[in-house]
Structure formats: structure tokens, C-alpha cells
Amino acid sequence: MANPLRKTMVYLGLADEEFDYEDAAPAAPAPVAKEVRESHHAPQPTGARAPVIPLRRAPSQKNVSHSDMNEILTVHPRQYKDAQAIAEAFRDGIPVIINLSQM
């Protein structure tokens, strides 16, 4: 009977199975296949090409308004009730920086 730990390791793929088998007769050498060389030439295009329509690029947005984000809230929470202030600012769209170094 095999070791249960070894069986588990084989099942999980952590170890290879060890087979006990004997070579009755030496194997005959495998027949050598002839090499088949394929030509690596590109096929010649036939017929006319399809018309190509150039793509238009989307205009880049350079009118960025920085006045929307003129307030950033920095919080040094010390108590659980500070979470309410963080949540209210976050809900109102105000960026919040939470400094947890003093916790």
C-alpha cells in the first residue's frame, strides 16, 4: 500500500508518479520522416485593391477646467466618528486624503 501523503502529493501535482515497469525488449528505432520543405514565398496579390477611407481623429479636449477641483480635504482621523466627515466630503465630490499615520 502506498504512502497516503505521497498519494496526496501526486494528486495535487506536487510530486510525480513513480511507475515500476520493465523493458521486455529494446524498442525499435522510430522511422525517420523525410523533411518536407515548404516555400516561404508570399502569395502574389491578384485583382484590384479595395478603396480605403481615411479615419478622422477625434479632437483633443484642451479646455480643462481646474476650477471644479479647488478644494481637497485632508483628514487625520482619531475617532470612529471622523468617518462621517470623510463620507460626506467624498459624497459631495471633494477629493479626500486620509492620513492614517497617527492611528
pLDDT > 80? residue 35: no
At residue 54 the predicted structure's pLDDT band, cuts being 50, 70 and 90, is: confident
Residue 76 confidence (pLDDT): 92
**Widest pairwise Cα distance in the chain:** 86
At residue 31 the predicted structure's pLDDT band, cuts being 50, 70 and 90, is: confident
The one-letter amino acid at 21: Y
Higher pLDDT, 88 or 51: 88
Domain boundaries, the chain: 71-103
Question: For the whole model, what pTM was predicted?
Answer: 0.33
pLDDT > 60? residue 21: no
Kindly tell me the sign of the dihedral angle through the C-alpha atoms of 7, 13, 15, 18. Answer: positive
Strands 73-75 and 96-98: parallel
At residue 96 the predicted structure's pLDDT band, cuts being 50, 70 and 90, is: very high
Kindly tell me the sign of the dihedral angle through the C-alpha atoms of 93, 94, 95, 98. Answer: negative
Residue 84 confidence (pLDDT): 92
C-alpha count within 13 angstroms, C-beta hemisphere, residue 80: 0
pLDDT > 80? residue 61: no
